[in-house]
Amino acid sequence: MLKLFYAISRENKLRTLLFFYAIQCDSDARMINLFWVDARSRLAYEHFGDVITFDTTYRTNKYSMPFAPFVGLNHHCQSILFGCALLQDESEQSFIWLFETWLEAMYGKAPISILTDQDLAIGAAVKKVFPDSRHRLCLWHIKKKFPEKLSHLYHKKSAFKCGLKKCIYESYTVEEFEKVWNELIIENGLEQNEWLQGLYEIRNFWILVYNRNTFFAGMNTTQRSDSIYSFFLFFC
């Protein structure tokens, strides 16, 4: 019994020592950004930190602050939390502070790849703090905009929708994707569509075939972050 108590006490002490948090304050010493990560998450990151997803979609807490979880995947395909933050805003400066702080908590080990939504501030911060990590955009967030931007073409069972789906998911070479994409654009008179032109320019950030040489643990969306958010919301 004494040995068991000692073992439990030692484990609890280790967890306390490995708990990490950081607070950023403004010039009036008021908290603006908060980050925290527990011992289990830091240890798990050493084994499963190759790929992370990061999303700040939600503001349903008391102070309407963006909730930002870092989420990964273990060898059982289960979601793992690698840290959480509450941010004052979604500016590039806030994300840079958060990423640098998170990197400090993880002993300077950057992920191989990172999945985020299509946010310019996040993208700029990722480029500065994780320059060697492969950045990929959440496919779900991009597809969600198609019915809004191309409502006259992108609707249930339309030829354009079916063709676009095959182009995104079933292009097995870059050349095949380029060919099918150009055919869809010309056939539907979308040569002057600025939104599609913008998506095409960043195609290496979201089209599957451009990312097949990088390990993403089978993930192409940030929905793992959504599930973590739902977990916290349940207990709030």
Using one digit for the tens of pLDDT, what is the confidence trace for 85-130? 999 999 999 999 999 999 999 999 999 999 998 889 999 999 999 9
* Residue 36 within a domain: yes
Quote the CA–CA distance of 168 and 139 in Å, as a whole number: 10
Please, what sign has the CA dihedral across residues 182, 187, 192, 197? negative
Biggest CA–CA distance in the chain, Å, is 77
128 with 24, same domain?
yes
47 with 109, same domain?
yes
**Do β-strands 134-137 and 67-73 pair in parallel, antiparallel, or remain unpaired?**
unpaired
Quote the CA–CA distance of 52 and 110 in Å, as a whole number: 10
Quote the CA–CA distance of 24 and 90 in Å, as a whole number: 14
Quote the CA–CA distance of 25 and 28 in Å, as a whole number: 8
Predicted TM-score (pTM) of the model is 0.82
pLDDT of residue 226: 57
Q: Which residues of the chain have pLDDT under 70?
A: 1-17, 57-63, 222-236
pLDDT of residue 130: 96
Lookup: tokens for 81: 């939390």
101 with 185, same domain?
no
pLDDT of residue 181: 96
Rg (CA), the chain: 21
- Are the CB atoms for 87 and 65 separated by under 8 Å? yes
Provide the number of structural domains found in the chain.
2
Beta bridge partners of 85: 35, 68
- Are the CB atoms for 121 and 56 separated by under 8 Å? no
9 with 120, same domain?
yes
173 with 225, same domain?
no
pLDDT of residue 5: 37
Q: Which domain holds residue 183?
A: 142-205
* Residue 210 within a domain: no
